[in-house]
Structure 1
């Protein structure tokens, strides 16, 4: 199989592991910086070049597109799809997952459990918007943040109003969610590949923070998701159209709740915590789906 991995940095752990896993299984693999791909679009004809050379014949492409290049990166990914390449995470699915508001609407419409969330645009509605959510603590999230960046906890109503007003002054898009106190600063990440959870880890926030992201100093250990949690994770990925996803959830008094679905989940923390060859599982899944008639 001729495989492309869209990544801005071939030395990143996740990209490197995917390359290793693909080559171990005898595939031809190349890392392409999406920002160096450029396209010709014409009725019934699609072409791409990379650093002056034609790009063609790739049976599959795995996107590792950072949040800062989502728009152009997904355009490149879509061009691959139009040229006949299979992707476990198509361009439109990546866009759905990156837009937290859209993702929450789709997950809620599918009946998946998630924290109550509010969203509004006009400053005149701030007080009523927060009243719709209920008393603090509140979690305020930038709509397109990642790795815990742009996520804030406010413990007083005045603080919630202040943060909301400040973000509106910056013309930022954001959501406000209820805080699930019983989770005690911990969440569960389920790594979904195809129709199953291949690994799970419990992440715990550091003492002076509420965010459990490993990039924010959180700690991780292997965890065995319950059957209900595995089903929820697979369903959440499927609703957004993703075949490879990191689904973050919290264990609440009413059951597991989905926090976020990541279309480019990092592999380093979860592979180290669980001792699972996740990169190999992704490559095996792509093999099966990229085959003609697969």
Structure 2
């Protein structure tokens, strides 16, 4: 029996789907919250209940936790320890860490020549105010977040300084990005093993500035231009993830990248494109595990 564990969230839609798919294909099912692992550095074992993860054939990482924070990096370090001792993990924990931190992801994309919205990173209040005035409208983003949680849109106003001070008191370093005109949608361009899989659109319902499903956005099928696919391919190649979704916006100036994600995409793929992402991913991992 091939034993593949799923690092994810019990009760989570995509985590449970992955675990069910592995069970159907291998007869083994283990869904493991990363927060409940105990790592023994002396023996090189990592325990979840009575299961020593170091003895499994592989792990698939779907979720590192329910709330994005720097603590997720520490949890992923435990997986990095196991991976560097020979356990096959998809995606490589170190590569996940590089996209999980918004600033790390942004620096890698920018250094790789990937077009992104104009962005300012600062802890200085005056510099932040100047950036907002320059952009006209800006989105302040926490370094660790998903589905636009904690993001705030700011514009030049009498209350701007107070708003900026409030944000930096809560989040520290300010990640400030020019708000782009998206036409009510952005794209998730999906890759498996570095190969293009499909694209879906996230469309807002007019009640929010963002397109996330958390704010009422809906998934729809979408056929991107070749230039959009190739830009997303170039962006994801900088990180080398086994499964990834690249967040792209098609603007009047051409496509721009917001981020590369290690965890997103499953529900959008199924809802908009009719594809079973869990089935495709598990088949991919099984082939990798069976390789000598």
Q: TM-score with structure 2 length normalisation?
A: 0.89
In the alignment, what sits opposite 2:44?
Answer: 46
Aligned to 1:243: 242
Could you list the structure 1 runs, at least 4 aligned residues long, displaced by more than 6 angstroms after superposition.
Answer: none
Question: Do the aligned partners of 1:138 and 1:160 also contact (CA within 8 Å) in 2?
Answer: no
Task: Indicate how the Cα distance of structure 1 residues 161 and 232 shifts in structure 2: closer, same or farther if over 3 A, else same.
Answer: farther
Q: How many residues align?
A: 287
Q: Aligned with 1:48: secondary structure? A: strand
**What's the counterpart of residue 148 of structure 2?**
148
Alpha-carbon offset, residue 158 of structure 1: 4.8
Q: Deviations over 1:137-174 (max 9, x none)?
A: 11111111111111222233555544322112224333
Cα deviation, residue 29, structure 1: 3.4
1:59 is aligned, of 57, 60, 74, to 57
Question: Which 10-residue stretch deviates more, 208-217 or 194-203?
Answer: 194-203
Name the counterpart of 1:178.
178
**How far apart are 1:191 and its partner, in Å?**
1.9
* Structure 2 equivalent of residue 112 of structure 1: 114
CA contact (8 A) 1:198 1:278 kept: no
- 1:54 deviates by 3.1
Deviation at 1:91, TM superposition (A): 1.6
Q: Are 1:136 and 1:157, in contact at CA under 8 Å, matched by a contact in 2?
A: no
The answer to whether the 8 A contact 2:129-2:160 is kept is: no
Shift of 1:219: 1.4
Give the structure 1 partner of residue 35 of structure 2: 35
- Decide which moves more: 78-87 or 201-210: 78-87
> Could you say if the C-alpha distance between residues 207 and 7 of structure 1 is closer, same or farther in structure 2, counting changes exceeding 3 Å?
same
CA contact (8 A) 1:35 1:72 kept: no
Residues 21-74 of structure 1 show CA distances to partners (whole Å, capped at 9, x for unaligned) of 2233335331112122111114xx511122255333222211121225513430
The CA RMSD measured in Å over matched residues stands at 2.1
Equivalent runs, 1:215-254 vs 2, <5 Å: 215-254=214-253
Structure 1: gaps (5+ residues): none
Shift of 1:129: 4.4
Worse-superposed segment, 120-129 or 255-264: 120-129
